[in-house]
Amino acid sequence: MANIELDGVNKKIKVDSGDLTLDVPGDIVLDADGGDVVFADGGTNLLKVTNSSSDVVLQPQVDTKDIVFKQYDGTVVATVEDNATFNIPASKLAIGGTAVTSTAAELNILDGVTATAAEINLIDGGTARGTTAIADGDGVLINDAGTMRMTTVQTLKTYIGGFDVSSITGATALATQPAATDEIVLSDNGTLKRLDIKHISNTPFFEYQLSGNQGLNNNTATKILWDSGTFDSDSILGSSKFTPAIAGYYFINALLPFDEVADTTVAYCMIYKNGSHYLSQASSSGRGTDLLTPHLSAILYLDGDDYVEIYGQHNHGSARNVIGNSSTEAYFSGFRLTGL
């Protein structure tokens, strides 16, 4: 039977062999007014439990040694290492019962991150949208063979490039005349824009005649009342006047054949712009049976709401006809000029 000795001089309870069990009906309380409880082995202090302003401090007492936490079967679940690292073995960390499966390298990616939760949620399938305009210096996240890198919108735009010969090689050819609403793509000072074919075609265009003769009184400038059209691309000739609706330069052409006139008769074909005389062309007779055919052509700049009319005039003395519906008949035609 082992002996238990109370060593009052050295303040020790000594057992000469075996273990010492303290078996009490209540609790075992270690009350050290000095604030330290020390665990020792063979006279070597190993661990000290210290009261620090009511904080409990666990501190190893042997340099270069660790505090190791193990479960019942001896598996290490955490170690407080001598280098001041709290080391948790892989797959041993869980938060709220959910295992953290990220590796240390993966978690280290977040080291120094200043992103907000909303910004990180965008990577995780967030649906937030913004309306901020994109600039060349803005950043774009690119997956570079598994490594996420940042590049600029300008770099991405340069890489994607624009239209060039290689972009259209092998494209399907247009088999028919382009419609007015067909579009082409062009660079407007570096900005790609769509352009309707209509804007580079010679439209609007038209040609009109008279279905019969129109009488003109002597020395009276008279508007020609066109009533028989050959073509009118945009249906814009109304009330015998041409209103283009599209601003630009226009080629205007007109012919007025006057029936038999007396000697020294002068006949005129005139362009009126916005109700005022703009240009005239005269034709004169040499004998009493002449057919006078004054004809004129002009290039005019017209706004969308400008309009052009054709007038005729003569000094025969009595009324004369402008001839319509014959092999030599009056006509009024025009079209828009492109490239001006």
220-231 per-position pLDDT tens digit: 999 999 998 888
Both 225 and 158 in a single domain? no
Q: Which candidate, 225, 227, 279, places its Cα nearest to that of 253?
A: 279
- Name the pTM for this structure: 0.49
Burial (CB count within 10 angstroms: exposed 0-12, middle 13-18, buried 19+), residue 305: exposed
pLDDT at 132: 76
Mean per-residue pLDDT, 14-30: 85
First-to-last alpha carbon distance for the chain, in angstroms, is: 124
Both 34 and 142 in a single domain? no
Mean per-residue pLDDT, 3-9: 74
Output the CA angle 264-266-272, nearest 5 degrees. 170
Q: How far apart are CA 68 and CA 73, in angstroms?
A: 14
Q: Give the Cβ contact number of residue 330 at 10 Å.
A: 27
- pLDDT of 161-218, one tens digit each? 655 555 555 567 777 777 777 888 777 887 878 888 777 778 888 999 999 999 999 9
Count of structural domains within the chain: 3
Last residue of a domain, one of 95, 112, 145: 95
Both 212 and 332 in a single domain? yes
Residue ranges making up the domain that contains 154: 136-162
Q: Give the Cβ contact number of residue 115 at 10 Å.
A: 11
Q: How far apart are CA 337 and CA 203, in angstroms?
A: 8
Lowest pLDDT segment from 69-78, 119-128, 184-193, 228-237: 119-128
